[in-house]
Amino acid sequence: MSAKIVTITSGKGGVGKTTTVANLGVSLALLGKRVACIDTDIGLRNLDVVMGLENRIVYDLVDVVEGHCRLRQALIKDKRLSELYLLPAAQTRDKTAVTPEDMIEVCRQMKNDFDYILIDSPAGIEQGFRNALAPADIVLIVTTPEVSAVRDADRIIGLTEAAEKSNPWLIINRIRPEMVDRGDMLSTADIIEILAIDIIGIVPDDEVIIVSTNRGLPAAFDNKSAAGTAFRNIARRLEGEDVPFMTLKDSGGFFKRLVKLVRQS
Amino acid sequence: MNFFQRIVGQRQPSSRDLAKERLKLVLVHDRVDLSPQMLQTLKDELIAVISRHLDIDQAGVQISIGEGTKRDRLVADIPILPRKRRR
């Protein structure tokens, strides 16, 4: 097997990159794939905590790059699933400890042992982002339906294309259909029109995400969670399956308004 | 609001509409690193060059940085004066 390397990035912080990586990792593993997740947010690591593996860290990405340990020793196996691994970031260093070439080399060493390598990019456009982007075969760009996030996503799309990683895919996270209907939130259609890239996932705002992070148990394990289902659908689309997007009463078009009015009267 | 207005959704612009318009405008300038002064210089030079070959309505020339589905596009709208008006 030769892994597909998927970098999840956004520009803006706090839009759900780490949540996406954790949940995609679980989802793909639940589909029987062999998955490794790499946290490149050196100095501000969080993928370990979101995945619930924080107390299993012995070695990290910087230890591997600097040759203090073998790759196998740093990879943490998630015991809840047969084939999910985490390569955590270092917490006491910063993003200059690793270069894009280091990242390409680490992924090269891992490529034959996994079906997917998911790379959690830090926020921003500096070294950390460049490190995360370097080995990518596929780039997923996460945004929320907010002006700042969409603006930053646009910049990231430009930088991604400039790095010759063509066809990044969009994930819209934390959409709230009631707010879209009221005219208080950008719709999926608005965002796609503005950013003009293909969409691979729409994830509703879901309280379960907070609970899942509290527990260190990603929502993708939870069949009843809307967000969990959305992430599992993204995993299926990555696998090439044509999964229809969940109808989230989104976009309130002309005819929907007409139907609603007629129903009310 | 009367029934027709409610059908069409007439109201003052929703915050969603405002967000969309503001984003489109801000991204037009984010995407192309061209200050308003540089754009004016470009416009003046473009007018000078085209005027060497065609009679144009210089006051009616409009130059803008494009937006929408084509991510980066400079659009020039240059009215050409019809033959009979040429001196």
Domain enclosing residue A170, as ranges: 4-264
CA-closest candidate to residue B19, choices A253, A151, A192, A124? A151
User: Which pLDDT score, from 0 to 100, does residue A122 have?
Assistant: 97
Are B24 and A194 a contacting pair at CB < 8 A? yes
- Report pLDDT for B72: 63
Indicate if the pLDDT at residue B67 is higher than 60. no
pLDDT at A262: 46
Instruction: Report whether A16 contacts A218 (CB < 8 A).
Output: no
pTM above 0.90, yes or no: no
| Encoded tokens for A209 | 């995400």
| Amino acid present at B54 | L
Q: Which of A147, A182, A196 sits opposite B69 (nearest CB)?
A: A196
Q: What is the DSSP letter of A3?
A: P
pLDDT of residue A249: 55
Interacting residues of B63 by C-beta distance below 8 A, sequence separation 6+? B39, B42, B43, B46, B74, B75, B76, B77
Flag if A183 and B16 touch (Cβ within 8 Å).
yes
Query: Rounded CA gap, A233 and A231, in Å?
Result: 5
Report d(CA A208, CA A81) in Å as an integer: 20
pLDDT of B74 > 60? The answer is yes
C-alpha–C-alpha distance, residues A130 and A99, integer Å: 8
Q: Compare CB distances from B20 to A151, A186, A258 and report the shortest one's residue.
A: A186
- B14 inside 8 A of chain A by CB: yes
CA–CA dist A200, A194 (Å, integer): 16
Say how far residue A102 (Cα) sits from the centre of its chain.
21
Token pair for A263: 């129903």
Chain B partners within 8 Å of A198 (Cβ): none
Q: Residues of B with CB below 8 A from A159's CB? A: none
- For residue B28, name the pLDDT band (cuts at 50, 70, 90): confident
Distance CA A99, CA A82 (A): 31
Q: Please list every residue in chain B whose beta carbon sits closer than 8 Å to the beta carbon of residue A184.
A: 14-16
* pLDDT tens-digit profile, chain A (265 residues): 799 999 999 999 999 999 999 999 999 999 999 999 999 999 999 999 999 999 999 999 999 999 999 999 999 999 999 899 999 999 999 989 999 999 999 999 999 999 999 999 999 999 999 999 999 999 999 999 999 999 999 999 999 999 999 899 999 999 999 999 999 999 999 999 999 999 999 999 999 999 999 999 999 999 999 999 999 999 999 999 999 998 665 444 434 444 444 444 3
Question: Three-state SS across B12-48?
Answer: CCCHHHHHHHHHHHHHHHHHCCCCHHHHHHHHHHHHH
Q: What is the mean pLDDT of chain B?
A: 80
Q: For chain A, give the longest Cα–Cα distance.
A: 72
**How crowded is the C-beta side of A12, counted as CA atoms within 13 Å?**
19
- Residue identified by tokens 């007409």 is A258
Instruction: Kindly state the tokens that stand for A241.
Output: 């399956």
Are B7 and A155 an interchain contact pair (Cβ–Cβ within 8 Å)?
no
Across the interface, of B7, B19, B27, the residue whose CB is closest to A258 is B7
Position B11, amino acid:
R
The answer on pLDDT for B1 being more than 70 is: no
Lowest mean pLDDT among A167-181, A222-236, B30-44, B47-61: B30-44
* Amino acid in position B12: Q
Q: Is B38 on the interface with A (CB under 8 A)?
A: no
Please answer whether residues A95 and A44 qualify as being in contact, where contact means their C-beta atoms are separated by less than 8 angstroms.
no
Q: Which residues of A touch B31 (CB under 8 A)?
A: 154, 158
pLDDT-wise least confident of A103-112, B1-10, B21-30, B40-49: B1-10
Let me know: does A194 contact B20? Beta carbons within 8 Å.
Answer: yes
The CATH code of the domain that includes A196 is 3.40.50.300
Q: Where are the domains of chain B?
A: 35-87
- The phi, psi pair for A197, rounded to 5°, reads -125, 165
The predicted structure's pLDDT at residue B6: 61
Determine, for residues B6 and A196 on separate chains, whether the beta-carbon distance falls below 8 Å. no
Percent of chain B with pLDDT over 70: 74
Domain tally, chain A: 1
Which of A12, A125, A144, A151 should one mutate to test binding to chain B, selecting the residue with the greatest count of B CBs within 10 A?
A: A151
CA distance A9 to A46: 14
Report the distance separating Cα A112 and Cα A108, nearest Å.
8
Minimum distance, in Å, between the CA of residue A151 and any CA atom of chain B = 7
Q: Please give the single-letter amino acid code of residue A192.
A: I
Q: Reduce the DSSP state of residue A7 to 3 states and report it.
A: strand
Q: In the numeric block, which tokens belong to residue A10? A: 């956004």
What tens digit of pLDDT does each residue of A127-183 get? 999 999 999 999 999 999 999 999 999 999 999 999 999 899 999 999 999 999 999
Would an 8 Å CB–CB cutoff place B54 in contact with chain A?
A: no
The pLDDT of residue B86: 54
Closest residue in A to B12 (Cα–Cα): A183
Q: Which two tokens stand for residue A118?
A: 């998911």
Check CB contact of B30 with chain A, cutoff 8 Å: yes
B33 at interface of A, judged by CB pairs closer than 8 A: no
| Closest-CA distance of chain B to residue A198, Å | 12
